[in-house]
Chain A
Amino acid sequence: MLKARLKNLAFQLAALILAFGAVSIILISAGASPWEAYKNMFLGSFGSVRKFAEVLVAFVPLLLVTAGLLVTFSAGLWNIGVEGQVVMGAIVTTWVYRLFLESGWNPALIIVLAILGGMVGGAIWAALTGLLKTFGGVNEIFGGLGMNFVATAWTIYLIFGPWKRPGVASMSGTEPFPDEFSLPLLANLRLSPWALALGLIAIVIIYFLLQGTYFGLRLKAVGKNFRAAYLLGIPTWRYSLYSFLICGALAGAAGAVQVAAVYHRLLPSISSGYGYLGLMVAMLINYQAIWAVPVALLFAALNIGSIQLPIVMKLDSSLSGVLQGALVLFVLLMEGARQKLIKRAS
């Protein structure tokens, strides 16, 4: 037992070394010092309070999305449409804001309504993918991808059409809301403790949902063996839809936070790719909720730390994506190699 665990660890360590090795080679071939690059990324994310606050700003939506994806992965579904669900959350949040901006209601109430609206928006968008799968026979990967494009197109339509800024519409998004409609932020930072709390509460709830409830247990049964779950009396397709709804709501919350706490308006790329990044986090942690916080934090730190690179080292900030991808890829490959070895041994 212990030996198997050590072996497991060795494979994971090897994956880590291979990932950093590969990225180092890429850096050297780009004429940069790997050590400098890693150092700058670290300083760029943990070098000051302001920088770490930015890491947390990125951490919140990533954590929310990851929490949602843990549910769909548990149900055996590849919810690649999560990106569009984030976008739809942002759209509906903005819509609710616009609806009540002039109402004279208490801003706090409006903020809550807007975020709830975002969650509903994300959930509905996810449910559409779920219905396409259940009743249309469209695989959730392709349905989800299509829904992502539609969501993005819709954002752009709104920004350049009905919701355009007074004067000229541009890629810089809709007119920002007044400050009092923002989730309260820490002084001089973009970080909202409320948003951070929302993210942490979400992952804790999902952890318990999956580990400690009958619902989570049934969901896992559906994900691991659809047929046997049905024979055990679980209404399988309904559980698939539930998982889409939950994931969509959390992704929608991520989009809502982007609007309500970070940008205060709708942007063409409001999701910042957190949907896809969340899929990577979920794969890297092998779908175990317990690891979501540290890994999402690491990925957020890589994203923020790499913002430094163009200024300090004239390197593109997409290095973070390369490093994240290399980590996931090598972990997957080493896992495959490990299974292959076990099989050969038996």
Chain B
Amino acid sequence: MQIELKRIHKHFGKVHANKDINLLIPSGAIQGILGENGAGKSTLMKILSGFIQADSGSEIILDGKRITIDSPADAIRFGIGMLHQDPLDFPPMRLVDNFLLGLPGGLLLNHKKAMQDFAALAREFGFALDPESYVDTLTVGERQQLEIMRLLFLGARVLILDEPTTGISAAQKEKLFATLKKLSAQSITVIFVSHKLEDVENLCGRAAVLRGGELVGELQAPYETLKFVELMFGKVVTLGEKQSLAQEALTLSLNNVALEDARIKIKHVNLDVRAGEVIGLAGMEGSGQDLFMRACAGLARTVGGRIQFKGQNLTGKSYHTFKRHGVNFLPAARLEEALVPGLNLMEHFILAEHPSGIFIDQPAGEKLAAERIQSFNIRGGPLSNIESLSGGNQQRAELALLQTPLDLILLEHPTRGLDIESVIYIWGKLKERCQQGASIIFISSDLDEILQYSDRILVFFAGQVSNPIEASQTSVEQLGQLIGGKGWADA
């Protein structure tokens, strides 16, 4: 099936998530769609799969016929099926029931026939799936196999896969690629959305790169890796003057730490962080850096190794213990995790001070709030509810909530979605803390930000952690390759 996208635009409020995207995907092609987080890949794919609708004037043309897709059910009727990054299946149910759910047919379920169909499909693709087992016992890779089978059985002629190689093993990846190549030979069109260069190079005959909501280039195999990196991350910017504030004293040291959650396993991490030092964590979302950071705050349990903080063993302690020792964690989800919607700025500042009296000292609270609001340049009054502030002001408020004294600040995406002025301001404030001896570990998907502000960098890829890389001795290109899973032999 041939797909043509014409003048696709999509606005979310003020954000222009897709800007005039034009793309032709021939029938039976394996089309790669590359780009950073936030480049607009997901939006485009959600439009194509009917999850959201593009702005008027956008056109989707299927085999020469213009179509309107109003819902995912519509999309599958047109033969377009999508495999979501977080599989949209039903974990407590059996595989065969997952397979059956949503298939057309009579009132009664015909399990016997479903089993036969299931077995036939599984055999055709060589998937070892037991229809009687439950989805919550499967790996992500197996859940993908299940979804692929279901979509093909529904008659999908176009298969969209959103970051399918995140969280699956190398063997499963090989299997997946073989399957996709087989499908392409049956003239099924495959759209492969990924940030991993290596995967796109190995699998896709053609690739389109998105950046900032725009289609910035189309390439055909064989590829030049450097060209890819340049398209994805933009021109290499000249870095401003930077100076390290790192001192001799150690704040945090990780000794052979092992971590685990439902998606990812991390082993043998060793890291010494010095006072005043800034460590940037690079990697695509879900590569393990978030788990790593939460472990440094006592929010995720370690399964092995030791975490020492200023000479004290804090392994297995709770966040509140870490906090008492001078560790603060600022999550990315501001209104979900960091701030309390419904409370005002002053109330936040009061809470963060851990006052010991009984009655709220209103004048002191207002004074404190006014001071912080001024010194952190927050647009809002002491009595403004936190959710009424703009994102940048909420971020400044979060910084203003950091306790004093403080030895380690852990930040998830400290400047995501902020304008450049806010970014510079926030880093200024953070560097002040470094000057006072605090260490910083931060996650960012913006490589320029990581290069600009870190002393050393850890790159995460599918649970692997690189050795610390000196920021002064690396480049956007090298980091981009590492993030995409290339060049790990010498990292």
A interface with B by C-beta (< 8 Å): 212-215, 217-218, 220-221, 224-225, 227-235
Additional pairs, 5, CB under 8 Å, beyond known A225-B341, A228-B339, A232-B340: A214-B358, A217-B343, A228-B336, A233-B323, A233-B354
For the complex, give the distance between the alpha carbons of A213 and B350 in Å: 11
Considering the complex, give the chain B residue whose CB is closest to the CB of A228: B340
Q: Give me 18 A-to-B residue pairs in the complex whose CB atoms sit less than 8 angstroms apart, sorted by A's number.
A: A213-B359, A214-B355, A214-B360, A217-B350, A220-B343, A221-B351, A224-B340, A225-B337, A225-B339, A225-B342, A227-B336, A228-B336, A229-B340, A231-B329, A231-B331, A231-B337, A232-B401, A235-B320
Interchain pairs with CB closer than 8 A, number: 62
Q: Which of B343, B359, B360 contacts A224 (CB 8 A)?
A: B343
Quote the shortest CB–CB distance from A193 to chain B (angstroms): 29
Q: Is the interface of A mostly helix, strand, loop or mixed?
A: helix
Known A-B contacts A214-B358, A215-B358; A234 and B343 likewise in contact (beta carbons under 8 Å): no
Q: Which of B320, B339, B359 contacts A212 (CB 8 A)?
A: B359
Q: Indicate if B352 sits at the interface (CB-CB under 8 A).
A: yes
Q: Indicate if B357 sits at the interface (CB-CB under 8 A).
A: yes
Q: Indicate if B21 sits at the interface (CB-CB under 8 A).
A: no
Considering the complex, give the chain A residue whose CB is closest to the CB of B361: A214
Which 3 A-B pairs have CB atoms at the shortest separation, nearest pair first? Answer: A225-B340, A224-B342, A221-B340
For the complex, give the distance between the alpha carbons of A230 and B338 in Å: 9
Quote the shortest CB–CB distance from B344 to chain A (angstroms): 11
Known A-B contacts A232-B401, A233-B320, A234-B351; A212 and B338 likewise in contact (beta carbons under 8 Å): no
For the complex, give the distance between the alpha carbons of A232 and B352 in Å: 6
For the complex, give the distance between the alpha carbons of A229 and B352 in Å: 10
For the complex, give the distance between the alpha carbons of A333 and B354 in Å: 39
Inter-chain contacts of B401 with A (CB < 8 A): 232
Inter-chain contacts of B352 with A (CB < 8 A): 232-233
Quote the shortest CB–CB distance from A323 to chain B (angstroms): 31
Considering the complex, give the chain A residue whose CB is closest to the CB of B299: A231
Quote the shortest CB–CB distance from A153 to chain B (angstroms): 35
For the complex, give the distance between the alpha carbons of A220 and B358 in Å: 15
Q: Indicate if B99 sits at the interface (CB-CB under 8 A).
A: no
Q: Which of B342, B354, B359 contacts A220 (CB 8 A)?
A: B342
Do A213 and B358 touch (CB < 8 A)?
yes
Do A213 and B360 touch (CB < 8 A)?
yes
Q: Indicate if B214 sits at the interface (CB-CB under 8 A).
A: no
Inter-chain contacts of A230 with B (CB < 8 A): 319
Considering the complex, give the chain A residue whose CB is closest to the CB of B13: A346
Instruction: Give 1 or 0 for each of B342-368: 1 = CB within 8 Å of chain A CB.
Output: 110001101110110111100000000
Considering the complex, give the chain A residue whose CB is closest to the CB of B338: A228
Q: Which of A227, A233, A234 has the most CB of B within 10 A?
A: A233
Instruction: Give 1 or 0 for each of B243-265: 1 = CB within 8 Å of chain A CB.
Output: 00000000000000000000000
Considering the complex, give the chain A residue whose CB is closest to the CB of B347: A217
For the complex, give the distance between the alpha carbons of A218 and B347 in Å: 9
Q: Which of A214, A231, A232 contacts B357 (CB 8 A)?
A: A214
Inter-chain contacts of B357 with A (CB < 8 A): 214
Q: Which of A212, A221, A235 contacts B343 (CB 8 A)?
A: A221
Quote the shortest CB–CB distance from A276 to chain B (angstroms): 26
Quote the shortest CB–CB distance from B381 to chain A (angstroms): 14
Quote the shortest CB–CB distance from A77 to chain B (angstroms): 16
Residues of B415-438 at the interface with A, using a CB-CB cut-off of 8 Å, are: none
Inter-chain contacts of A227 with B (CB < 8 A): 336-337
Inter-chain contacts of A228 with B (CB < 8 A): 336-340
Q: Which of B336, B351, B359 contacts A218 (CB 8 A)?
A: B351
For the complex, give the distance between the alpha carbons of A218 and B343 in Å: 10
For the complex, give the distance between the alpha carbons of A114 and B355 in Å: 36
Inter-chain contacts of A224 with B (CB < 8 A): 340-343
For the complex, give the distance between the alpha carbons of A40 and B338 in Å: 54
Considering the complex, give the chain B residue whose CB is closest to the CB of A229: B340
For the complex, give the distance between the alpha carbons of A215 and B323 in Å: 20
Quote the shortest CB–CB distance from B398 to chain A (angstroms): 10
Do A232 and B351 touch (CB < 8 A)?
yes
For the complex, give the distance between the alpha carbons of A212 and B348 in Å: 15
Q: Which of A227, A229, A231, A235 has the most CB of B within 10 A?
A: A231
Known A-B contacts A221-B340, A231-B319; A214 and B329 likewise in contact (beta carbons under 8 Å): no
Q: Which of B340, B341, B342, B359 has the most CB of A within 10 A?
A: B340
Q: Which of B336, B357, B360 has the most CB of A within 10 A?
A: B360
Quote the shortest CB–CB distance from A343 to chain B (angstroms): 13
Known A-B contacts A225-B341, A229-B340, A231-B329; A217 and B319 likewise in contact (beta carbons under 8 Å): no
Residues of B162-220 at the interface with A, using a CB-CB cut-off of 8 Å, are: none
Considering the complex, give the chain A residue whose CB is closest to the CB of B348: A232
For the complex, give the distance between the alpha carbons of A101 and B346 in Å: 53
Inter-chain contacts of B351 with A (CB < 8 A): 217-218, 221, 232-234
For the complex, give the distance between the alpha carbons of A218 and B336 in Å: 17
Inter-chain contacts of B360 with A (CB < 8 A): 212-214, 217
Quote the shortest CB–CB distance from B119 to chain A (angstroms): 39
For the complex, give the distance between the alpha carbons of A233 and B354 in Å: 8
Considering the complex, give the chain B residue whose CB is closest to the CB of A346: B13
Quote the shortest CB–CB distance from B432 to chain A (angstroms): 22
For the complex, give the distance between the alpha carbons of A225 and B329 in Å: 16
Do B358 and A231 touch (CB < 8 A)?
no
Inter-chain contacts of B338 with A (CB < 8 A): 228, 231
Quote the shortest CB–CB distance from B363 to chain A (angstroms): 13
Residues of B291-348 at the interface with A, using a CB-CB cut-off of 8 Å, are: 319-320, 323, 329, 331, 336-343, 347-348
